[in-house]
């Protein structure tokens, strides 16, 4: 039923709860776990020049660490994992990745709005993913 499970990650503790669920689900279905981190271009664009490059490099480094943590958890459970760091708007990139990679289900936490979203009250990334995705989205509190 589920061959490919996407776990979007921002590296926060909230992702750990979603990852636990995704690992159990993947184990039950012998599925591949996909870890995705999105470098939020809105944050990068708010900075200019050398600062922009530093911010992007820092976010990419955080992203590599975050997807590696998901892949390590999958490997410890005996599962295959794929990792990807994308650039763009998180909800858009998550939905696009799911469509482009044949993802069967997305497992994520509804917590952890970005600083910009908190300021502008744009709603959470998970809300927008749940609204826009063409596959089931499990929101793990």
Q: What is the pLDDT of residues 44-100, one digit of tens each?
A: 777 777 788 888 899 999 999 999 999 999 999 999 999 999 999 999 999 999 999
- C-alpha to C-alpha distances, 62 to 3, 65, 124, 128, 132, nearest whole angstrom: 27, 5, 20, 23, 26
Q: Are 101 and 133 in contact (CB under 8 A)?
A: no
DSSP bridge partners of 32: 4
Q: Are 3 and 104 in contact (CB under 8 A)?
A: yes
The DSSP secondary-structure symbol of 89 reads -
Q: Delineate the domains of the chain, giving CATH numbers in brackets.
A: 4-139 (3.40.50.620)
The angle that helices 13-29 and 49-76 make with each other, rounded to 10 degrees, is: 40
> Beta strands 81-88 and 32-40: pairing type?
parallel
Of the chain, the percentage scoring pLDDT greater than 90 comes to: 70
Does the model's pTM come out above 0.85? yes
pLDDT at 123: 60
Q: Are 103 and 97 in contact (CB under 8 A)?
A: yes
> Which residues are CB-contacts of 26 (< 8 A; sequence separation ≥ 6)?
2, 5, 32, 33, 74, 77, 79
């Amino acid at each position: 039923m589920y061959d490919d499970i996407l776990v979007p990650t921002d590296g926060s503790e909230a992702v750990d709860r979603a990852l636990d669920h995704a690992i159990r689900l993947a184990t039950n279905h012998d599925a591949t776990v996909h870890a995705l981190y999105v470098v939020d271009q809105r944050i990068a664009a708010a900075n200019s020049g050398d600062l922009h490059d530093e911010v992007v490099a820092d976010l990419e480094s955080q992203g590599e660490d975050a997807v590696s943590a998901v892949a390590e958890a999958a490997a410890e459970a005996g599962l295959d994992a794929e990792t990807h760091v994308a650039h763009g708007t998180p909800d858009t990139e998550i939905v696009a990745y799911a469509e482009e990679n044949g993802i069967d289900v997305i497992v994520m936490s509804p917590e952890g709005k970005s600083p910009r979203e908190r300021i502008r009250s744009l709603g959470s990334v998970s809300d927008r993913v749940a609204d826009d995705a063409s596959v089931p989205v499990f929101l793990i509190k």
